[in-house]
Homo-oligomer: A and B are copies of this chain.
Amino acid sequence: MMPASPLPSSVEELATPCVLIDLDVLERNVADMQARAHAAGVKLRPHAKTHKSPEVGRIQIAAGASGLTLAKTSEAEVFAGLGFEDLFLGFPVYGADKARRLLALADRVRLAVGTDSAEGARSLGDVFHAAGRRLRVRLKIDCGYGRVGVPPERAVAVAREIADLPGIELEGLFTHGGQGYAARSPDEAERASRDEGRAVVEAAEAVRGAGLLALDAEVSLGSTPTARSSMTSRGATECRPGTYVYNDFSQVTLGSCRLEDCAMTILATVVSVPAADRAVLDAGSKTLSNDPLHPVPGGHGAVLGRTSRLARLSEEHGVIRVEPGESFRVGERVRVLPNHACQVSNLHDRLVAVRGGRVEGWITVAARGCVE
């Protein structure tokens, strides 16, 4: 882990590479998504995977978020330890060892976890039941992404198995239209949003009709590309976008945000210009990650103010393919807009908060690396 250096007051004096977060943009993104959720009449429970940070989580809660979404048990332990009180793990957590940790967590926070099978839910419920407790779970519905979750037509059958388990309380359903990241047109994006809303709302009606869900059960959906549209689905109660807080080049190319809505950039230095068509930054995949997320034309990140793109990355090198008419010089500093903000957060212990060119402090990625 890199020791924290003293922070200079101006961006120009920062050691490179480093990750900058523009607080004005971040605050605007938080307020905008909260206002949209308010207008749609749903709770906003942001996925904290994008920032993994108490400073950013507190801004979201202060703006009106009902709680945070996380994926892993160890992430919930970190956020519970930092004073966050309402956590949902949107991941099919499995196993008695994790259940014992969840049991300890449930003493400290309002906790719910995802599941998509009776086997998974039973592995948790048995531990809660033995302690005379019940764990809140939400059944994951697959709305067409094809990752985890049960298809809507099986929702009643699996919900019945789960609702009958000792130590388990079925508090709702949830879904995630991750296929929106593969959309290659506004039509495909709109279809992902529509499928997300329809799948989880119809499944909830069916499960409620079977007497397995309360009237006020959670019906939760959302991702940054789909949330603005899908949160207006009649019957949805909660949405869980994550990336909107920072945004990134993938979101820009997907049409989910504008360039000026991107709060995260990487400050990097040109360390080599070995050829007229090639310049190399000190920021590679250890800084930016290799994740293309939404396949972006031309590579691994945009160089702000230029048309030249990061064409390939190795761990410490970012290779720019220099477009005709552009040039870079050794020692020049540039700002890079990354393809996938969440992956960038997970590579760094701290990001640098800036406002109008001034350094304001660290953003601590407190739950970085929490994979358990």
Contact = CB atoms under 8 A, between A and B. Distances in A.
**Most chain-B Cβ atoms within 10 A of its Cβ — which of A77, A92, A98, A367?**
A92
Contacts of A348: 369, 371
Given A1-B369, A98-B15, A285 B343 contact: yes
A91 B372 CA distance: 34
A120 B317 contact: no
A116 B271 CA distance: 9
A2 B369 contact: yes
Q: Which of A149, A178, A273, A316 has the most CB of B within 10 A?
A: A316
Interface string A315-340: 11101000000000111000000000
A94 B273 CA distance: 12
Given A71-B315, A315-B343, A286 B148 contact: no
Contact of A346 (B93, B315, B370): B315
A91 B318 CA distance: 12
A368 B319 CA distance: 22
B371 A17 contact: yes
A315 B343 CA distance: 8
Contacts of A372: 2, 5, 15-18
| Majority secondary structure, A binding face | loop
Interface string A327-364: 00111000000000011001111000000000000000
Interface in A294-333: 314-317, 319, 329-331
Contact of A371 (B116, B142, B287): B287
Interface stretch (A189-197, A251-259, A274-282): A274-282
A339 B77 CA distance: 30
Interface residues of A, number: 72
A161 interface: no
A291 interface: yes
Contact of A369 (B117, B286, B343): B286
A142 B270 CA distance: 17
A49 interface: yes
Interface string A236-252: 00000000000000000
A248 to B, nearest CB: 14
Contact of A117 (B142, B273, B366): B273
A48 to B, nearest CB: 12
A260 interface: no
A74 interface: yes
- Which residue, of A92, A280, A371, has the highest number of chain B Cβ atoms within 10 A? A371
Nearest to A319: B147
B349 A317 contact: no
18 contacts: A1-B1, A1-B368, A3-B78, A15-B98, A91-B271, A91-B282, A91-B316, A92-B271, A116-B272, A120-B331, A148-B317, A283-B371, A285-B343, A286-B346, A290-B291, A347-B347, A348-B369, A349-B369
Given A95-B331, A120-B330, 13 more contacts: A2-B370, A5-B372, A13-B97, A15-B372, A17-B371, A49-B315, A94-B269, A117-B330, A119-B330, A148-B272, A283-B371, A289-B289, A290-B290
